Amino acid sequence: MRTCVITGASSGIGRASAIMLSQTRDYDNYTLIGRNIKGLEETAQNMASDTNVCIINADLSTPENLPHIVDEIVEKYGTIDCLLNIAGYTEPASIFSTTYENIQTTYTINCFSPLILMRECAKHMKKQGGKILNVASTAGMSPRPGWVSYASSKAAMISISQTLTEELAEYGIKVYCISPGRCATNLRKKLAPDEDPHTIMQPEDVARIICNLIGQGGNCIDGQNIVVRQKIK
């Protein structure tokens, strides 16, 4: 029985990935982690009917309980085979108006909590191998004035992923990183509130790439930062 853990599954790319992945039958058990319980329940209701789904209420801005949560998952299912770090946070602000609290929350949700989850899951994956996929952003690859905390946190996630690809390879753990471009998510609404979501990439487009990577198709692709974006017409 194979187990997959997903953060950020209450909406957007996380929800689309959970639903789509459950239909592939690559994994038997799913744990959805987040603070929007209603959103997570709606996601679970739309997943394949024969899928085992566990919902855990957790706030990634307070990562102290994450090791205990991972232990609970392993106790319930026996192991963890896949981790999808999809949850993200942003509160756009210029360097002159951003606050320490904003910077801390952004980095905690976008970097520190995912890194702790990777550490804890890898402790169990090293016994039989596994897959970790982190969602960064094209914002982490090029200058974005007014997005200093968000863009730099995503740049850090790209670097973390590439570093852990090398560090965890000897244990049969593959680490993937994708950087979506403009995608119609709640987070994108904060970054570009006036943008028409129908003119940009949809969460399902990114979810297809994620499912391909952590399925059999991604066995030789780890270590790369894969850009996922729709060409502007």
Of 117, 185, 110, the C-alpha closest to 152 is: 110
pLDDT for 37: 95
3-state secondary structure of 4: strand
Residue 73 burial (CB count, 10 A): 22
Number of domains in the chain: 1
Task: Retrieve residue 67's tokens.
Answer: 């090791």
Is 170 domain-assigned? Answer: yes
Is 80 domain-assigned? Answer: yes
Distance between CA 31 and CA 53 in Å, rounded?
6
Distance between CA 53 and CA 7 in Å, rounded?
13
Q: Please name the residues in contact with 181: beta carbons below 8 A apart, sequence gap of 6 or more.
A: 138, 201, 227, 228, 229, 230
Distance between CA 6 and CA 138 in Å, rounded?
21
Distance between CA 112 and CA 71 in Å, rounded?
18
pLDDT for 142: 85
Task: Give the CATH number, domain containing residue 114.
Answer: 3.40.50.720
Task: Retrieve residue 84's tokens.
Answer: 């999808």
Q: What is the pLDDT along the chain (233 residues), one digit of tens a residue?
A: 899 999 999 999 999 999 999 999 899 999 999 989 999 999 999 999 889 999 999 999 999 999 999 999 999 999 999 999 999 988 888 999 999 999 999 999 999 999 999 999 999 999 999 999 999 998 889 878 888 999 999 999 999 999 999 999 999 999 999 988 766 566 666 666 776 767 667 888 889 999 999 876 666 676 778 888 775 44
Q: In terms of C-beta density within 10 A (0-12 exposed, 13-18 middle, 19 or more buried), how is residue 194 classed?
A: exposed
Its pTM surpasses 0.85: yes
Is 176 domain-assigned? Answer: yes
pLDDT for 203: 85
pLDDT for 90: 87
Domain of 90, in residue numbers: 3-228
pLDDT for 70: 98
Is 54 domain-assigned? Answer: yes
Angle value at C-alpha 200, between 41 and 162, nearest 5 degrees: 75
In one letter, which amino acid is 44?
A
Is 210 domain-assigned? Answer: yes
Is 233 domain-assigned? Answer: no
Give backbone dihedrals phi and psi of 189, rounded to 5 degrees, phi first.
-60, -35
Tell me the β-bridge partners of 228: 180
Is 8 domain-assigned? Answer: yes
pLDDT for 220: 64
